[in-house]
Structure 1
């Protein structure tokens, strides 16, 4: 890429499964806007979140730091004693872009902290906190009135059932509003207004448009609720999950979410509704991309399309996300188009921190403090010399504290669970991660190697979780790095 610094349009969804997109092989769902970005840019086949929880992932995107470093480890709504705001003084890509003369805008879901919104980090934009569409937001209700649209109302709710037979969680409902009155349309309108202001301003800009969906509950107008035929849905093989040989927390979480409340036909319908939500958001992305075209900015704007994490949607008899480090929630869409880039597909492991580094690099800002790596060489079609051959993710809890670390390589996955049995998956033989082979003798050497690789990387990062790996065994004494306490230092 050469020439003037590009504008940046960052499109992020919440709980967006990769397998809903044609760019990743779905033959049924129609997402023409995301397809447009993919046709002009690069589809990263193996893109991952650093943590499959909204706040840790979004804080990592903002700061370029690992979750254990920035300290926002869980969503504030379900906080288990973790901090609720970023510590003062941490780097942010917004501060770096502002120093480079960029105009900054944020529209939609924030969820980086409880009280500090995007304005606290230099963005123009309103603070919309929390996990779900705030249908009572005063600006949204005023927008409805201004356009003569009907107020929010939903009917035909679909709930799970709790173990005692009582009503469980709301999963979906029909929205008694037309598409143009949805919260998703409102956010697109506000993003388009901001685009126009930035175009008039003349400075390079970075605009983030973050949607609250397709996070459950799926509240959609009939047009999208019924858009896809449930008979076209192929349910994931992992719905045959037994939890045999796996951490007990997964069985408990399955019961909490009531995923077994629905039979196959109901799950096909709910999955089809989820697909409709994906398509509805894509429709709004398309409106924003059309405005980019109309303003003559498409050829000078880098566009990102991604998500903070995925969603189970019944896979592994689970819903939402939580203490289970499966591909369903850790692998995310990663599609990037840059001016002058080389369209194509890449198989390298990348994550949201790499997007942070790429944003900084696009703006000509230093990337040294970012834990990610700029994707500009890959986006320009260059060979991936020396690129990482593994990926690490972390989890700290949701609803309750629960620590995990994951190492994902080309063919295998190791998940370390201090409060339960560890997990090892041979992804070639078991792509649906149904069989925990942690104790299978023929995999013993591979498991030892993965433990050591994970340990070394955690030590290099300064992640104290490494001490637990050493305690559990399998780490040679010569490799161990044990922090010395003040008492030990005096005893000698």
Structure 2
């Protein structure tokens, strides 16, 4: 009898232990997709201007897959960046802080990966985190369970990657490869909420198209922007820049013409050798197709004798190759959306498409970014999350890349750290408007490469005030209602005095808010 009682006690204890273990295991299991935190896929292209997305402008190209994100969610009509250049923009997105606060003011600085970042916060709240593609922050990624990144700018063909610290080379076109890596990782990491940063190299300079699109747009003629021949009158910063198509494009690197005798500009003295290295990455079959596709372009180039005709031809070549790269990006966005469809992940996955900044597609005669003028200051941003965001929204409120991190945290019901300077767009996205939203935007650019001038400024609905402070010291004022293309600097006109006083007051308030205060008397920023 005593033995049977002992056996019964042992069985009871074992059963109790089994029940407790099962309950603990259940508690640790991911919740059903209808209850668990949302998955997040953040797709970012490099230098993708809103002018080249048909959701914003259908005159240059059709981008049905990128458009779909906005059609099933929201198109942000007034999205801006805080610093229009690659590395700083990426740091802003990771931290939710302005460049002076996160330490990444320009390209070439090492990002301080020890600071708090979006992936680190998500990771502590049960997310699997990954980044693939262009990183461009020079230090090793932190806060990610998996990272497989392009070194520096990366290559378009048969690209090198750094996979968790190990050099790796993949066969294929970089936009396709980056998407392959992202989808392969997502496939293996669905047991927990996941955060994927899918960063494309394209359509960054030197705009090398995939084999599929080598001859796309051969039958198109793209009209010059009406301000293509801008003379930069009254705008000292523009007068000294080195990113104009007239002076800054390299025939080899940018127009894909093998010309050993063509002049080399000082700002692009590296370009001919870099183009040669890029061409050496093509396989023999790829090189044969490439040479065949561009043979007629080379013949045309040889026949051009006039400088202006050459400039117009280079503009056409630039836009053809740029848009060919965009085609591949759009195709691969479609692959991601189809994957979510096929796996039943649409309802519980936030998808964002944006660029690290805008870019000039010939406006003001330029081809790069950097300045606070609209084309590079403004960035595309499209967001889909069926649970929160009603479909077919066109949101006009001023949003920033600064707002990405707090928005993701808020949508995942995670507390936003107090030192984050951006604002959550959750309410704005849910309702399409918000009564307490920002009415103006602050911008600060630091670099002096490519002849640029450090500057900061404020944009309101009606006006834009810019102060160029290093190495020149000048102000610019634009009435965006009367002069949306920013051709006429009104700063020195007597009638602008009252507007300038008001804008400078607003500007100082923003600088104080973000702790980026400027001593105008001594022409320097306070520490």
**Which TM-score band (shorter chain)?**
0.7 to 0.9
Q: Are residues 1:211 and 2:236 paired?
A: no
Alignment match of 1:233 (pick from 190, 202, 222): 222
1:289-438 matches, within 5 Å, as: 289-322=337-370, 324-340=371-387, 341-343=389-391, 344-367=393-416, 368-381=418-431, 383-399=433-449, 402-418=453-469, 419-438=472-491
Q: Residue 184 of structure 1 corresponds to which residue in structure 2? A: 175
Alignment match of 1:108 (pick from 120, 133, 140): 133
Q: Residue 90 of structure 2 corresponds to which residue in structure 1? A: 58
Q: Secondary structure at the match of 2:519?
A: helix
Q: Residue 196 of structure 1 corresponds to which residue in structure 2? A: 187
Q: Are residues 1:282 and 2:307 paired?
A: no
Contact 1:14 1:308 in 2 (8 A): yes
Q: Secondary structure at the match of 1:241?
A: coil
Contact 2:159 2:173 in 1 (8 A): no
Identify which range, 335-344 or 23-32, moves more after superposition: 23-32
Instruction: Tell me the CA shift for residue 3 of structure 1.
Output: 4.6
Contact 1:15 1:311 in 2 (8 A): yes
Q: Residue 121 of structure 2 corresponds to which residue in structure 1? A: 96
**Do the aligned partners of residues 141 and 456 (structure 1) sit closer, same or farther apart at CA in structure 2, a change above 3 Å counting?**
closer
Whole-Å separation in 2 of the counterparts to 1:248 and 1:37:
37
Contact 1:101 1:204 in 2 (8 A): yes
Identify which range, 391-400 or 34-43, moves more after superposition: 391-400
Q: Residue 467 of structure 1 corresponds to which residue in structure 2? A: 519
Q: Secondary structure at the match of 2:148?
A: coil
RMSD of aligned residue pairs (Cα, Å): 2.4
Q: Residue 503 of structure 2 corresponds to which residue in structure 1? A: 450
The TM-score, its normalising length taken from structure 2, stands at 0.75
The TM-score, its normalising length taken from structure 1, stands at 0.80
**Do the aligned partners of residues 230 and 217 (structure 1) sit closer, same or farther apart at CA in structure 2, a change above 3 Å counting?**
farther
Whole-Å separation in 2 of the counterparts to 1:296 and 1:183:
27
Whole-Å separation in 2 of the counterparts to 1:138 and 1:462:
37
Alignment match of 2:111 (pick from 81, 85, 104): 85
Unaligned 5+ residue runs, structure 1? 77-82, 145-180, 473-481, 486-492
Which one has the largest radius of gyration?
A: 2
Aligned positions, number: 423
Instruction: Tell me the CA shift for residue 126 of structure 1.
Output: 1.8
Q: Residue 124 of structure 1 corresponds to which residue in structure 2? A: 146
Contact 1:230 1:269 in 2 (8 A): no
Alignment match of 2:160 (pick from 137, 151, 157): 137
Unaligned 5+ residue runs, structure 2? 1-33, 251-306
Contact 2:421 2:514 in 1 (8 A): no
Contact 1:75 1:398 in 2 (8 A): no
Contact 1:132 1:215 in 2 (8 A): no
Q: Are residues 1:32 and 2:64 paired?
A: yes
Instruction: Tell me the CA shift for residue 256 of structure 1.
Output: 5.7
Whole-Å separation in 1 of the counterparts to 2:505 and 2:364:
28
Whole-Å separation in 2 of the counterparts to 1:138 and 1:15:
20
Whole-Å separation in 2 of the counterparts to 1:448 and 1:471:
19
| CA deviation map 1:428-485 (0-9, x unaligned) | 1111111111112222211221111101110222113x212x657xxxxxxxxx97x9
Q: Secondary structure at the match of 1:360?
A: helix
| CA deviation map 1:371-414 (0-9, x unaligned) | 11111112112541111011111101052784211211111111
Whole-Å separation in 1 of the counterparts to 2:52 and 2:426:
26
| CA deviation map 1:191-223 (0-9, x unaligned) | 110110122xx1111111000111110111354
